[in-house]
Amino acid sequence: MPPVIRIGTRASALARKQTEIVSGLLLENGIESESVIIKTEGDTQTGIPLHEVGGQGIFVRALDDAIQRGEIDCAVHSMKDIPAARPDGITTAAILPRDPPYDYLAFDIPLDEISCIGTSSTRRKAQLLRHDPEFEIKELRGNIDTRIRKLKSGDYDAIMLAEAGLARMSLHVNGIRLPTKHFVPAPNQGTIAVVCRDDPGISDLIRPLDHQATRRDTEIERAVMEEVGGGCFTPQGIYCHNGSLIAEILSLDGKRYERMEEHVENSDDARRIGAELRDRSVNLILEAKEKLGLK
């Protein structure tokens, strides 16, 4: 009889929902599992901008550590939160079929009256300011419910969310889907990844959940991201669908950007594009780090 897999998850409703999705898929394959809540520093310090507490990777680190200590067998993540540098001994065993990759602008007032928008993402801020330099962008962190509650209370005219999170939570919020052509998503946005110890006894049980088309596109995105570097604080959108890639680096104020659009066959192509984009954007990357006070 296969062992019961211990799945680590953050405590947020979205993280637990994503873990439920993975648990259900494992059960369909005859594998039982149990959830283990792991607290992360990013969940407790919600009033501080992400670049001041360690970036998106702060949500992943605690779960990686729990895997390495043997407290859990695997962990479920929004794949866009997983940093480029990964610890030894941990592998991405499965990437689920991609949910909607789009950014979503949620609002309750007429669209042409929006002036103040909430987001904690430097990418979203830069893309919004490129669209309309008159927007006021205010810091917004917290889980989906918290962000929607702040919108409803009038703290913001609109807020930016990932449509995938709304879909997974079956939340219906007034607003519009933003096109990937102009609001290029973060690398791997809309995908759920299952990471585990690099141990066939665990990874072989999880691997049947892997979706090859999504893995191919997300690996292309990650190859570009790894070559660009610049950390998760540099405003960058990288999105691939069936080999069609859009990748861009923006200034923090959205006034300047470098962009490439190509059809990509493999990760080698993606790394070539990432290296070229990095070379063309080096001043934007250095400028963003300096303005955010990063080393």
pLDDT at residue 2 in the model: 61
Q: Which one, of 234, 232, 233, 238, lies nearest residue 271 by Cα?
A: 238
Work out whether strand 33-37 and strand 5-9 pair parallel, antiparallel, or are unpaired.
Answer: parallel
Interval 254-286: pLDDT, tens: 999 999 999 999 999 999 999 999 999 999 999
The angle subtended at Cα 217 by Cα 214 and Cα 218, nearest 5°, is 80
> Which residue type occupies 187?
P
Give me the pLDDT at residue 50, please.
Answer: 47
Which residue of the set 64, 73, 81, 103 is catalytic?
81
Sheet of strand 236-241: strand arrangement:
236-241, 244-250, 257-263
Residue 210 phi/psi, 5-degree rounding, is -70, 135
Domains (range + CATH), the chain = 1-96+191-210 (3.40.190.10), 103-178 (3.40.190.10), 211-290 (3.30.160.40)
Q: How far apart are CA 143 and CA 145, in angstroms?
A: 6
* Size (the chain), residues: 295
- Read off the pLDDT of each residue in 5-10 and give the average, rounded to a whole number: 96
Strand partners, 18: none
Euclidean distance between CA atoms 4 and 31, whole angstroms: 7
User: Which residues on neighbouring strands pair with residue 295, listed in sequence order?
Assistant: none
Q: What is the pLDDT of residue 198?
A: 93
81 catalytic? Reply is yes
* R_g (Cα) of the chain, nearest Å: 19
Whether residue 161 contacts residue 189, with contact meaning beta carbons closer than 8 Å, is answered with no
Helix axis angle for 13-28 and 144-152, nearest 10°, is 140
The answer to whether residues 104 and 177 touch, using CB atoms and an 8 Å cutoff, is yes
Tens of pLDDT, residue by residue over 171-216, are 999 999 999 999 999 999 999 999 999 999 999 999 999 999 999 9
Beta bridge partners of 35: 7
Quick: pLDDT tens for 93-118.
Answer: 999 999 999 999 999 999 999 999 99
Tokens of 91: 């592998």
Q: The dihedral of CA 170, 175, 181, 182: what is its sign?
A: negative
With a cut of 60, say whether residue 44 has pLDDT above it: no
CA atoms of 195 and 57, how far apart (whole Å): 14
Q: Give the Cα separation of 26 and 5 in Å (integer).
A: 9
For 204-224, the DSSP string reads HHHGGG--HHHHHHHHHHHHH
